[in-house]
Chain A
Amino acid sequence: MKQLLDIGGVFAYLSLLTVGGGMAAFPELKELTVNTYHWLTFPELLHYYSIGQLAPGPNMMMVATVGAHVAGLPGAAVALVAFILPTGIFTLVVGRLWNRLANWPWRPAIERGLGSVAVGLVLSGAIVMGRGAFTSPYYIALGAAVFGLLMMTKINPALPILASGAIGMAAYLL
């Protein structure tokens, strides 16, 4: 029970940090689940996050995997509800208010100001993730290749990610 409460608390807290997208919360997600609570190792978290990139729907449904890893099905359910419900209610309430603030002069200031910070947070997430994933030049090349492909073409991002997985398996077998 204590553990479920911890899971609920951690993911409710993390959900408040997801400004600009789920990646913004990644540094804190790592800090809490790996370093503070020791629920899983950093490589395990990286693996779950990457599998999550292949799943449909919102990009952070991977919180269910951390919950399940720690406490099975109830853990997954608690992680999901805690991660979605608080910000969901907030969005519902503020969304209605925000429409009425269409001409409020501070609205563009907030959108632009938080927008820059959100990009910075996503970049921080990418750096923290890269420290774990780029363990050799070969992995840096894989990440760079996926980035280049996605910037130059409009292919579904799942395809180059799956392709890097296939390359990784081929490299292991050969």
Chain B
Amino acid sequence: MTSPPSLWQLFRVFFVMGATSIGGGVVGYLRSALVVRQRWVDDATFVELLAISQTLPGLNATNMSILVGDRLRGTPGAVLAALGMCLPGAMLMTGAAFAYGIGGDDPLSKAFLHAIAAGAVGLVLMVMVQLGAKVLSGFADYVFVAVTAILVAGFRVPVPLAMIGMGAIAIWWHRPRKAPPSP
């Protein structure tokens, strides 16, 4: 691994990623920039930081920026990495809101927007399948997924309640134990 980058370098690399990672899948962009091109972290560290990012609340891409920035340059590094990652998208989306205010009511824009909303559901489902392939490993896990979804989407249970309740049950189910689980 090379010596830690300067704060400016760190900001620049994350800013470029924040501006070019179009179409979701920021994790792929992160890996190719941080592990392959810059060699700031190795693959094992990357996977470990990713597991932390996905477990903690917060967006995966933002959490990864904070964790990698912190590893490389401490708190200032974490702040600049996260800023670089978020700024381009944040500026674009703010601009988009104003454009929507001007042209969003046009029937042609509405036809476009409603169709991309339908397409975006397809993307969300794909992300869910990918996430599921990584973390679900037994019948019980699928039950936790189904019950959580039925509670939130079916019975309108508030997300924090479902998260804490189902989270506690699922963590308890996977609790560390030496003997094999009794049937």
A-side residues, CB < 8 A to B, are 15-25, 27-28, 31, 43-44, 46-62, 64-69, 73, 76, 80, 84, 87-88, 90-92, 94-96, 98-99, 105-106, 108-130, 132-135, 139-140, 142-151, 156-169, 171-173
Contacts and interface: CB of A to CB of B under 8 A. Distances in A.
Interface string B143-165: 01111110011001011101100
Contacts of A144: 122
A113 B78 contact: no
A59 B115 contact: no
B33 to A, nearest CB: 13
Given A57-B26, A113-B167, A123-B128, A161 B123 contact: yes
Given A59-B59, A121-B148, A50 B163 contact: no
Nearest to B128: A122
A65 B96 contact: yes
Q: Label chain A's interface by main secondary structure.
A: helix
15 contacts: A15-B57, A53-B120, A56-B22, A61-B90, A62-B93, A64-B90, A64-B97, A87-B62, A88-B62, A95-B56, A111-B51, A115-B55, A124-B148, A158-B22, A168-B112
